[in-house]
Structure formats: C-alpha cells, structure tokens
Amino acid sequence: MRRALPFACKIAATGSYLPARIVPNRDLEAFLDTSDAWIRERTGIGARHVAADDEVTSDLAAQAARRALERAGIDVGGVDMIIVATVTPDGPMPACAVRVQHKLGATTIPAFDVSAACAGFLFGVTIADQFICSGAMQRVLVVGVELLSRIIDWSDRTTAVLFGDGAGAVVLERAPADSEQRIELCRIHSEGALADALSIPAGGSAEPVTERALHMRRNKVQMVGQEVFRAAVRGIADVGAEVVADAGLTMADIDRFVPHQANVRILSAVAERWGVPLDRFVLVLEETGNTSSASIPIALDRGLRDGRIASGERVLMCALGAGVSYGAVLARV
C-alpha cells in the first residue's frame, strides 16, 4: 500500500482529440505491399487518424486539453502545471509543453515534456500524482500526444501500418486523503538494455542527421517487432500484476482495463496471463492504430464518454513502450 500523504489525487476530467482525416488500411494497400486482412489479423488495427499538413503536435494537445478543462469546469488559470508526454514534439527544443501552455493562454506555470514513449502518459500521471498528494499543487494537466505520421517511414510496411496521430488529456486534482475517487497506486520502470529494440537512431548526439542518415531513413522509427512484442506482453502483464497485488487486490477487483493499445494480440496475451476476459478491456485500437502516449488517455476519455467505464469504477491503466519503459496506474474514476 502507498505511504500516507496529506491529500489524494483524482482524475477530475478527461478530453481527447483525433485529427479529422481517417486513413483506413485499404488506403495503405495503394503504396505498400500489405493488405487490410493482414493488418487486421496481425494487429487488430482497421484505420488510423492522420494530422493535416498544417497541424502540429501542440495543436492536437491543446485541443484535447481544452476539452478536458471545459469538462472540469475550469479555465487554464486553475491549472498549476502542464506535463506533456510525447516523443513527437513540435521540435527538439523547446518542450512541446511550453507551446501547449502558450496556446492555452497560460503564462508562467511550469510546463515540461516527459519522454517515455508509449508509457509516457503514465509517467506523467505518476509525477503529477506526487505534486498533488504532497500538497504542493492543486491541479495538474497531463497530456499524452503524438504526431507519429511525421516520424514513420511510410515505405516500411513493418512500421507504417501500426501508428496513428492523436491526443488525450486529463485534469488531475487534489482531493481529501480519504476520497474514494482517487489514483490508488502508480508504478513505473525502465529497462535501457532494450533501448535499441524501438528507436529513432539519428537526430541526436550519437548520430547527428546527415545526408547519409536521411537516405538510410535513420531519422525514422525503427523497430524489432517481435522483441518489442515479447517485452510488451511481459512488461504490461508484470507491472499490472505488481500494482494490483501491492494495492491488496486481485484482478477480480478491477472493473475495467485501459491498456496502451499497440496490438490486440499483445493485449489478448496479457488478458490470458491475468486470467481476465478481453471484453473488460476498453479498446480503441481498431479505429486509432497505435497512438503511443496518447492511447491510454484517448481510451479513458472514450470509455467514460460512451459508458464503457462508469463513474466510481476501478480502472487499471498499463503501458510499455520504447526504452523500454513501462508502468501502471490504478484509479477509481
């Protein structure tokens, strides 16, 4: 169980945004040696949203954030800090979060990015939870956002079919220490030994962008798919079980599972390990593809809006992504 802290932290509101343009699998058949049947069978993905040419990552994030703020019934003046989880910021510097802060109309509140790929949103929530439960802050906006269509190699069928663009946001808020509605437990881990299984090799200090790097597309996502698949099943299953056990619960006590959504076969394997039916998972993957750090807040928002998640239910959110970094957050919503 967690140590006693002066306050609890609760999810006050959620919001999400998907770009208008939808690219179904069939559209990829026109320029890739792939098929709708293969993509659906091997991943569970049917389509993905792709940002317009004039949209940037902070635009997607600001849209999702505005919806969350509106549902929380506050304007940005009521927020003490902004955390943006992303691996696709508007540019390498400054943080995407400061662009979001400015677009939302905030002026001096701290705003920074978290880079933990598909687990980034849960890393952001874990950080925010500490600031709120300690009493240091009252409200923190956490956004998971990705514009992955700009960093994938559209000629590589092993990655191009998997990813999509989107954003999800939560307003986290201080609550009394004995509040039922609260984040009950957070856990995060990283294993740098697996760093090369999913990476963008060029564009940093190890491999600056050169003409050769561009030609080799080393500034685009590269993935050893099966290694990531195995790590995801193990990491998500283990960290989810760890959090549930540490909370003194069993999987039977969890009402809904809101996992990171990369591949439905990963989630089926996780569900089997946990001994829970897949129909307790809130899935948006078929419609969105893998939106990395945005996938959990998008699914959470969708689930709360369409009734798949009811108020008061206990929700387990789990993710693994590049790093590899992984984590789980248990919450009563």
Catalytic, 189? Answer no
**Residue 30 within binding range of ligand COA, rule CB under 6 A:** no
**Residue 82 within binding range of ligand COA, rule CB under 6 A:** no
Site for ligand COA in 242-271 (CB under 6 A): 262-263
One residue of 76, 200, 232, 285 binding ligand COA per CB under 6 A: 232
Going by C-alpha positions, the residue among 330, 329, 319 that lies closest to residue 119 is 319
Query: Smaller CB distance to ligand COA: residue 82 or 320?
Result: 320
Tell me the C-alpha distance between 170 and 227, whole Å: 31
User: Total binding residues for ligand COA by CB under 6 A?
Assistant: 20
CB of 324 to ligand COA, least distance (A): 8
What is the DSSP track for 151-178? TS-TT-HHHHTTB-EEEEEEEEEEEETT
**Residue 226 within binding range of ligand COA, rule CB under 6 A:** yes
Going by C-alpha positions, the residue among 259, 332, 257 that lies closest to residue 295 is 259
**Residue 58 within binding range of ligand COA, rule CB under 6 A:** no
Strands 165-176 and 7-17: antiparallel
What is the DSSP track for 88-153? S-SSSSS-HHHHHHHHHT--SS-EEEE--GGGHHHHHHHHHHHHHHTTS-SEEEEEEEEEGGGTS-
Tell me the C-alpha distance between 291 and 296, whole Å: 9
- The answer to whether the CB of 163 falls within 8 A of the CB of 291 is yes
One residue of 56, 118, 145, 282 binding ligand COA per CB under 6 A: 118
One residue of 27, 38, 40, 55 binding ligand COA per CB under 6 A: 38
In one-letter notation, the amino acid at residue 57 is T
CB of 191 to ligand COA, least distance (A): 14
Query: Smaller CB distance to ligand COA: residue 1 or 193?
Result: 193
Catalytic residue of the set 9, 96, 133, 260? 260
Site string for ligand COA, 310-329 (x = CB under 6 A): -----------x--------
Tell me the C-alpha distance between 259 and 300, whole Å: 9
**Residue 157 within binding range of ligand COA, rule CB under 6 A:** yes
**Residue 229 within binding range of ligand COA, rule CB under 6 A:** yes
**Residue 34 within binding range of ligand COA, rule CB under 6 A:** yes
Catalytic, 260? Answer yes
Going by C-alpha positions, the residue among 77, 138, 143, 132 that lies closest to residue 104 is 77
In one-letter notation, the amino acid at residue 96 is C
Query: Smaller CB distance to ligand COA: residue 35 or 181?
Result: 35
**Cβ atoms within 10 Å, residue 154:** 13
Tell me the C-alpha distance between 23 and 27, whole Å: 6
CB of 235 to ligand COA, least distance (A): 10
Catalytic residue of the set 118, 133, 186, 318? 118
Query: Smaller CB distance to ligand COA: residue 232 or 282?
Result: 232
One residue of 115, 130, 138, 158 binding ligand COA per CB under 6 A: 158
**Residue 46 within binding range of ligand COA, rule CB under 6 A:** no
Q: Is 121 exposed, middle or buried (0-12, 13-18, 19+ CB in 10 A)?
A: buried
CB of 95 to ligand COA, least distance (A): 22
**Residue 228 within binding range of ligand COA, rule CB under 6 A:** yes
**Residue 24 within binding range of ligand COA, rule CB under 6 A:** no
Catalytic, 118? Answer yes
Which secondary-structure segment (H or E) carries 302? helix 295-306
Q: What is the CA radius of gyration of the chain?
A: 19
Q: Is 98 exposed, middle or buried (0-12, 13-18, 19+ CB in 10 A)?
A: buried
Query: Smaller CB distance to ligand COA: residue 170 or 232?
Result: 232
Binding site for ligand COA (CB under 6 A): 34, 38-39, 42-43, 118, 157-158, 161, 198, 223, 225-226, 228-229, 232, 262-263, 290, 321
Q: Which residues are catalytic?
A: 118, 260, 290
